[in-house]
Amino acid sequence: MSESSQDARCEIAFTVNGQLATVRAYAMERLLDVLRHELGLTGTKEGCGEGECGSCSVLMDGSLVNSCLIPVLQASGANIVTIEGLASDGHLAVLQQTFLEYGGAQCGICTPGMILAAVHLLTKKPCPTLEEIREGLSGNLCRCTGYMQIIEAVAEAGRHGAAT
Amino acid sequence: MRARPSDYELVIPHTLPAVLSLLAQEPGVWLPIAGGTDVMVQYAAGKLDRRKLVSIWNLPELRRIDVFAAEIQIGAGCTYTDLSEHEVVNREFTLLSRAARWTGGIANQNRGTIGGNIVNASPAADSLPALLVYEAELLLVSARGERRVPYTEFHIDYRKTQIAPDELIRAICLKRRFPEYYAHARKVGARNAQAIAKVCLAALGRLADGVVEDIRLAMGSVAPVPLRLTGTERIVKGNRIDSWLVQLARTTATAEVQPIDDIRSSARYRAAVAGNLVAEYLEQLERCRNET
């Protein structure tokens, strides 16, 4: 990144995984880059960088978004949840556990985005049908699993009441 | 080449009048950005010409759906999720709610806006044929005032529209007069989510005494603009649907579209599919008469 003599960066504050974060960033920096490079939250992955693959999915004010398509200034004041915010006190969230048990993760690049898309789905539909799971995850691409293990992991999490 | 964030400016004025005043001061300089599902893709690829952006995301004046007796007004900043979860849109404008669920994946539906989709003016957009057959009207607003424009006249040429540099779309108006119509949408593509259509169809029709009283056909990805198939409509309207009419409509539609060869499909395939989709719709329209 180039250094300009007049620093046009501004202070932007938002909540990430329950903690207030303040960063100095250019308004048009991608939320994805700020999360990874400024805040060290490298669980959020970059895949395509154009909103097609879902690897960079995070929750912003409860809504599933592609963080590669968010200028960080638009996240000002928002409440953001990344994959790092799901486990608590050393215990995995239900979805993380079912992904482990059902083989929902292989190379792992799509996994954080998949799990956040699944969190978003289960919040809206606590006991989704297989069809609803497919639709809820349709914006998240996986090149390893063939999807079946992921869909089963989400269905199992729904049966365990992951949404609550 | 990747864009450098330091080369760009982004402001968030928080009210519609403040946005309009900025656009009026320097028309054509400020690019409105809502959910970023198109703008940020161009930006990341280093292909965004304009360096000054004004955020209109979540402006309350643009993020509402007003339901009146005769029409509904959909704020241009409503997302695809807002549309597919709205009761009246789901009940009375099924072509639009279905297209909303076909656009991108969930994350893009949560951020992509109907107004953004219209001004982005892609001939392949899933929801635009629906707006054509509902004969939507657009409320365009600027510091100079507001005007109402028929959507059928909005797209002038490939990615060229009637919108002035200081204008925004405020709302999309849809007349509530289609309860008796048989609505049908079809997207032909690699998959529904996250795939741009090779061809998509939105169709509305109504029979009276076995005769096609009204028919509206519109397609995406078959011309430089989202296309209303007025020639094919003329052939069909006022006639009974039989195999002869279906065949005539098929050949008329195939000739009426002006598709191109591109990365997703070929012109020849698209023209053939366009004809087949029209034929399929007419056969369904006739069948639904026999079932009722």
Domains identified in chain A and CATH numbers = 10-85 (3.10.20.30), 94-159 (1.10.150.120)
Residues contacting residue B245 through CB under 8 Å, at least 6 positions apart:
B235, B236, B239, B282
Coil, helix or strand at residue B81 = helix
Residue of B6, B43, B107 with shortest CB distance to A8: B6
The Cα–Cα gap between A124 and B215 comes to 37
Question: What tens digit of pLDDT does each residue of A84-115 get?
Answer: 999 999 999 999 999 999 999 999 999 999 99
Question: What tens digit of pLDDT does each residue of A42-59 get?
Answer: 999 999 999 999 999 999
The Cα–Cα gap between B51 and B164 comes to 19
Question: What tens digit of pLDDT does each residue of B111-160 get?
Answer: 999 999 999 998 888 899 999 999 999 999 999 999 999 999 999 999 99
Q: Write out the CATH class of domain B1-179.
A: alpha beta
Q: Assign domain B182-291 to its CATH superfamily.
A: CO dehydrogenase flavoprotein, C-terminal domain (3.30.390.50)
User: Is B195 part of the contact surface with chain A (CB cutoff 8 Å)?
Assistant: no
Sorted by where each begins, the domain ranges of chain B are: 1-179, 182-291
Q: Å from B249 to nearest chain A CA?
A: 34
Question: What tens digit of pLDDT does each residue of B90-120 get?
Answer: 999 999 999 999 888 999 999 999 999 999 9
The Cα–Cα gap between A128 and A68 comes to 27
The predicted structure's pLDDT at residue B193: 67
Tell me the chain B residues in contact with residue A50 when contact means C-beta distances shorter than 8 Å. 41, 44-45
> Which positions 26-55 of A are in contact with B (Cβ < 8 Å)?
26-30, 49-52, 54
The predicted structure's pLDDT at residue A5: 52
Q: Cβ of A70: how many Cβ atoms within 10 Å?
A: 26
Tell me the chain B residues in contact with residue A120 when contact means C-beta distances shorter than 8 Å. 106
Residue of chain A minimizing CA distance to B103: A139
The Cα–Cα gap between A115 and A66 comes to 13
The predicted structure's pLDDT at residue B260: 85
Instruction: Report residue B21: phi and psi, to 5°.
Output: -65, -40
Residues, chain B: 292
Q: Biggest alpha carbon distance in chain A?
A: 56
- N-terminal to C-terminal alpha carbon distance within chain B: 59
- Please answer yes or no on whether A68 and B40 come within 8 Å at the CB atom: yes
Tell me the chain A residues in contact with residue B78 when contact means C-beta distances shorter than 8 Å. none
List the one residue out of A159, A154, A145, A92 whose CA is nearest residue A121. Answer: A154
Give the angle B225-B231-B235 at the CA atoms, nearest 5°. Answer: 150
A4 has a pLDDT exceeding 70? no
Residue of chain B minimizing CA distance to A58: B107
Optimal mutation site among B1, B2, B4, B6, interface A, most CBs of chain A within 10 A: B6
Q: Å from A57 to nearest chain B CA?
A: 7
The predicted structure's pLDDT at residue B196: 81
Q: Å from A106 to nearest chain B CA?
A: 22
